[in-house]
Amino acid sequence: MPRTICLAFTGASGMPYGLRLLESLLAAGCRVQLLYSQVAQVVARQEMALELPSRASEAQAVLRERYAALPGELVVYGREEWFAPVASGSNPPEAMVVCPCTMGTLASIAQGLASNLIERAADVVIKEGRKLILVPRETPFSAIHLENMLRLARAGAVILPPNPGFYHHPVKVEDLVDFVVARILDQLAVPHALMQRWGREAE
């Protein structure tokens, strides 16, 4: 049975991380429930020249074609689609990743708000004891940001800023993206071969 992962794109810079993560999850055989904010559409256009339609059904068709995903492998839900499975603790995903994650979204989740489906899905994942991974793309962090992250970490969330390492000798931007995505996949226990692991000689 394929694992079900909820993935949310919000309006922070870092859409290459989110799209590469989506691609990797699908390649690993996961079932992905995708959510995205209105500002994420702007970021996708700006950073990736990708037009994410406002209608979830249209975005679903675009992304399924882009990644050759079958109907059951990728499902996209609208921001106010309250009958989506991720909105209820009776049918939560195994894990959720918000990548990239704005400070506004992080703050709303930290305060237990649920004004849209992304926030509600994160709230469900926390209360049901599932893994929530937040990838905040911001710098520097203010004291407010850090306090919100600490609150979430104490609630069991994983705070995973997209800070790439350089010991794997990256030669292109994609190598840096893969480093961060590999760390996210490791947290999800999803197998991958995005980069050579530390201490392991090349075969």
Tokens of 45: 């256009």
* SS3 of residue 109 by DSSP: helix
pLDDT reported for residue 71: 86
pLDDT for res 201: 59
Peptide bond into 140 cis (omega under 30): yes
Using one digit for the tens of pLDDT, what is the confidence trace for 23-71?
Answer: 999 999 999 999 999 999 999 999 999 999 999 999 999 999 999 999 8
Partner residues linked to 5 by β-bridges: 32, 95
Omega within 30 of 0 (cis) for the link into 2: no
Q: How far apart are CA 22 and CA 9, in angstroms?
A: 10
Would you say domain 4-188 falls under CATH 3.40.50.2300? no
Rg, C-alpha atoms of the chain:
16
Question: CB of 3 within 8 A of CB of 96?
Answer: no
> Which pLDDT score is estimated for 132?
98
Distance CA 85, CA 87 (A): 5
Confidence class of residue 1 from pLDDT cuts 50, 70 and 90? confident
CB neighbours of residue 110 within 10 Å: 23
- Residue 33 pairs in a beta bridge with 6, 75
Q: What is the pTM of this model?
A: 0.96
Which tokens go with 43?
């970021």
- The pLDDT, as a whole number, for residue 200 is 67
Instruction: Tell whether the torsion through CA atoms of 129, 112, 93 and 134 is positive or negative.
Output: negative
What is the reported pLDDT for 166? 93
Per-domain residue ranges for the chain?
4-188
**Tell me: the pLDDT tens digits for 136-178?**
999 999 999 999 999 999 999 999 999 999 998 999 999 999 9
Q: Which helix (H) or strand (E) holds 5?
A: strand 4-9
Mean of the per-residue pLDDT values of the chain:
96
CA–chain centroid gap for 88, Å, is: 19
State the DSSP code for 125.
Answer: H
